[in-house]
């Protein structure tokens, strides 16, 4: 059922061309440091511009959508090229550095309500789609497409949740989560609940080792809210439409289990900020050229996009 807080459920379907969008004209690519492989076996990098850790998602097919949720039907196989996605959501400290260096004026006037001292590691929220886009340009990256987000969350087999087929409220930040030490870390935003520091739920990692794909902050994608089949070349990745509804993914700390799946879709106008105390983002980038510098003592390698 479609939501009522400007963030609305929809769905995924259809094969199409590669999902990556090239950096904006004149945008320098990120300077990446190879960090070796994560426990799941996938290459990781650090963007030296903003400090983000990125996980390499290899080229190949994955299952997108779900036949049992009308807004996400039909399930289908989609092929994506290799890309990178932020291991965690962008934090308050990273966003503050962006503002300090650029003088960017945020669309939503309350982003720093929850970005005060001692909350550096919490996900930035109260950010519009335009604010998220501006950050990504500064960092030499971009927002993930909707398809990239879903593959990173569900893995090649299209899991219902990043960790597997069964719901477990202790694997992400949500209204049903009851782990005392995690609740103690929550910002007091509503009904005694709120966001937690990024990466607080390692047991909720996706098959690629990406964290916080469900709960905590709902995340902007680059994609317009359009019906399927999903295609990158049908206008949904046009960044030049300032009024188009944009897709958000992953749900947030305020969500109940039924909306916390890897295929659930929400949407918002790009600068409507009243409900943006739920909304953050993570970064993405195309796969690096063959030579990113390895970290000292690391067995990391620069991946080649395919």
Q: For residue 60, how far is the Cα from the chain centroid?
A: 19
> Is the pLDDT at 5 greater than 50, yes or no?
no
Name the pLDDT band for 71 (thresholds 50, 70, 90).
confident
Mean pLDDT of 49-54: 98
pLDDT of residue 114: 66
Whether 284 and 146 have beta carbons less than 8 Å apart is answered as no
Asked if residues 209 and 36 have their Cβ atoms less than 8 Å apart, the reply is no
Q: Which CATH class is domain 32-294?
A: alpha beta
Domain positions in the chain are 32-294
* pLDDT tens column, 72-88: 788 888 999 999 999 99
The model carries a pTM of 0.85
Quote the CA–CA distance of 132 and 98 in Å, as a whole number: 11
Sheet with 218-224, side-by-side order of all strands: 265-268, 246-249, 218-224, 279-280
User: C-alpha angle with apex 230: 227 to 141, nearest 5 degrees?
Assistant: 115
Average pLDDT score, the chain: 84
DSSP string computed for 151-207: HHHHTTTT-SBTTBSS--GGGSBSTT---HHHHHHS---BTTB----TT--GGG--T
How does residue 274 score in pLDDT terms, banded at 50, 70 and 90?
A: low
Whether residue 114 has a cis bond before it, omega within 30° of 0: no
């Amino acid at each position: 059922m479609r939501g009522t807080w400007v963030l609305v459920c929809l769905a995924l379907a259809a094969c199409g061309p590669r999902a990556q969008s090239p950096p904006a004209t004149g945008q320098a690519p990120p300077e990446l440091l190879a960090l070796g492989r994560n426990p799941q076996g996938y290459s990781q990098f650090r963007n030296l511009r903003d400090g983000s850790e990125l996980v390499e998602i290899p080229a190949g097919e994955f299952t997108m959508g779900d036949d049992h949720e009308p807004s996400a039907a039909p399930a289908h196989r989609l092929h994506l090229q290799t890309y990178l996605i932020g291991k965690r959501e962008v934090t308050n400290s990273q966003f503050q550095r962006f503002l300090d260096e650029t003088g960017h004026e945020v669309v939503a006037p309350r982003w720093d309500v929850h970005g005060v001292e001692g909350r550096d590691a919490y996900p930035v929220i109260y950010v519009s789609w335009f604010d998220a886009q501006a950050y990504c340009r500064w960092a030499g990256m971009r927002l993930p497409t909707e398809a990239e987000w879903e593959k990173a969350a569900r893995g090649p087999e299209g899991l219902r949740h990043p960790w597997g087929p069964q719901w477990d409220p202790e694997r992400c930040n949500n209204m049903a989560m009851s782990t005392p030490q995690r609740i103690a870390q929550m910002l007091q935003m509503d009904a005694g609940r709120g966001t937690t520091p990024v990466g607080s739920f390692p047991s909720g990692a996706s098959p690629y080792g990406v964290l916080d794909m469900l709960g905590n902050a709902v995340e902007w994608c680059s994609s317009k809210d359009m019906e399927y089949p999903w295609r990158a070349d049908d206008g949904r990745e046009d960044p030049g439409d300032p009024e188009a509804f944009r897709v958000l993914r992953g749900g947030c700390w305020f969500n109940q289990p039924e909306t916390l799946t890897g295929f659930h879709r929400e949407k918002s106008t790009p600068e409507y900020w009243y409900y943006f105390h739920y909304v953050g983002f993570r970064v993405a980038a195309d796969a690096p050229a063959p030579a990113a510098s390895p970290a000292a003592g690391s067995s990391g390698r620069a991946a080649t996009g395919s």
